[in-house]
Structure 1
Amino acid sequence: MAESVIRFAGSGLRVQPPLSLYIHLPWCVKKCPYCDFNSHAAQGIPETAYIDALLLDLERALPDVWGRKIHTVFFGGGTPSLFSAEGIDRILTAVRTLMPLLPNAEITLEANPGTVEAARFAGFREAGVTRVSLGIQSFNPRHLQALGRIHDGDDARRAAELAAIHFDTFNLDLMFALPGQTLAEARADLDIALAFRPPHLSAYHLTLEPNTPFGHTPPPNLPDDDLAADMQLAIEARLNEAGMVHYETSAYARPHHASRHNLNYWQFGDYLGIGAGAHSKLSFHDRIVRQMRTRHPQQYMDAVRQDRHITDVRSLTRSDLPFEFMMNALRLNDGVPAALFEARTGLPLFICAPALEQAQARGLMETAASHLKPTLQGQRFLNDLLELFLTG
């Protein structure tokens, strides 16, 4: 489709940022009531046809990223572990053929405990996946049922065991502030997770997203704000005690195990997204472009064949960029070097001076000139901090 963009008025980008590849596999066994991702309950997955579309999508995207090296690959969903190891191998083989993939690239695949088994994990590892991210959410059967999950606590434990066997690094996803959950139960989930010595752990507050069943009809007995805050503080303290660093709003990692793919997002790197509903952010010398692909899987597969699968293209304007950059960078508890702002946006940092002064005066950001870093208060009230950078 024709690209209609507004070029931003800046000094331009001297060096393009690192590039990641995101691959969206949109099917799940069952749609969870809290999920607002572009995922669809499987009525039989057209794996071969969908992979055909993915690879054609990737070929059509090559002119936008020609010659650029891929630093990380992330299979998200949906539930990517519903795809066969052979299918994942076919995708990664094509990626290596079409693009320069770094030899030590981090390749992550999201998996759910209800869909994994030893043979499949081994196959994913053989295909080149280096990291799995397991959507455990809870080990408590009552809470899993309340969340509409299809796995039970035993499935979750078995999946964590398999992840530890087959992968040097893996992530366990947990949620807290669940319906009827007590502080003791939140701590118990964490202790069970830590028994598997995960190199990385994500802990998310259950949120009631619009346009989800939970958004329309909230579940009963949700913890109040004070109890949820107590859970968050207890989780942070326990993980710190276990030697895990709280490096991003919801992410904790042992040394050298932070998610490199997600770090590239937070540091305002580039990413090419292929698949149904995937988003891209691509930097050129004189503009930064966001793209979105057709959301529905069948419509996406049809549209790729017609080269009409990119449904939205826009350039970030000069007024967009400060908020877009800070929305990512300030999720990192240690922030980013101040020089990264100009390197990734092509704009001088002084255009943010009024917002930075307000943030520092309100105790939301550190005052060091060489670093952009939220204070503990800024981490706790991140939305208030980010609003200062909205100029539109």
Structure 2
Amino acid sequence: MYIDLIAGARPNFMKIAPIIDAIKAAKEKGTDIDFRLVHTGQHYDKNMSGSFFEQLGIPAPDVNLGAGGGTQAEQTAAIMTGYEKLLMEKPSDLCLVVGDVTSTMACAITAQKMHIPVAHVEAGIRSGDWKMPEEINRLATDAVTNYFFTTSEIANENLRKSGVEDDRIFYVGNTMIDTLLKHRSRFQKPAVWDEVGLVEGNYLVMTLHRPSNVDEEENLKSLMDEIIANTKDLPLVFPVHPRTAKMLNNLGISHERLHMVEPLGYLEFNYLVERSKAVITDSGGITEETTVMGVPCMTLRDSTERPETITIGTNELLGVNPDAIQPALEKLFAGEWKKGGIPEMWDGKTSGRIVEHLIELLNK
């Protein structure tokens, strides 16, 4: 049994790392199973260098398709062309894709057209917002998927509503949490901790990357002004992409409490998150991690594909209107933020469940 593991962006590798561990563990027990780690090259990130793979125990990719950048259509075409060539040279028994990036959709379609079954990890999650490229990727991927591995009962129901039979849906949990729990004891203090003199529970972490937040200058300025004005005397640590940093500088946004730093490694970033008073973000994955670590989280988006982080966890959806920031922060500082809980099966054992199902399915 030979499985392609597809990754194209940094979060994909975090989701695939524990699956690699589970496959290796099954192989060591004598199971006929092996994998090929395929990096599509969708994103080049200097922080995805050897240190990132070393931190998470990820082997070097077996193949890099080198898709690179370009428009979404150009990137999709490059990934599909590269993966098709790879499958023609050496087909696999299964294509396993994770998440919702362009690589997920492109490789799923390519594999299915070459009669190779597709498994989708994080299947069935939906934001309902078709303006997000990720939502289109989710819908297209699930339309050609054979086996659906889900993180929540909400995702299961989304799939059922679209006509997927129960015997193809496997509620297994969240591989991102497998990675988080495995490495939690190894979180590393980043340089900014001592440089700024941070104190546990007495600072906030920020991340912003969605175009709706960072590409519209007036909105970005309003968001930042509201955050700075309503965070009392607490430091704000903002690991920021260079493009966003340039925009913030152009807008003249600076403050003695605002500390813009380079993007951080996985272990360093989560060290900060775990010890923060709260996180302000527009990321989906971070809301899962804050939920498990019990850290208050405010999401600057109008919709989320991870509603369990709100109904069960520590996350609240504020929208993109800057006026929502002040009341949310007042609630936080009044000690009235919800405690939250951890969703079912977010227990660090998801990848083992996935591999058990794959062995059973592929040996039928």
What is the TM-score of this pair, normalised by structure 2?
0.28
Highest relative contact order (Cα 8 Å, sep 6+), 1 or 2?
Answer: 1
Select the structure that is richer in strand.
1
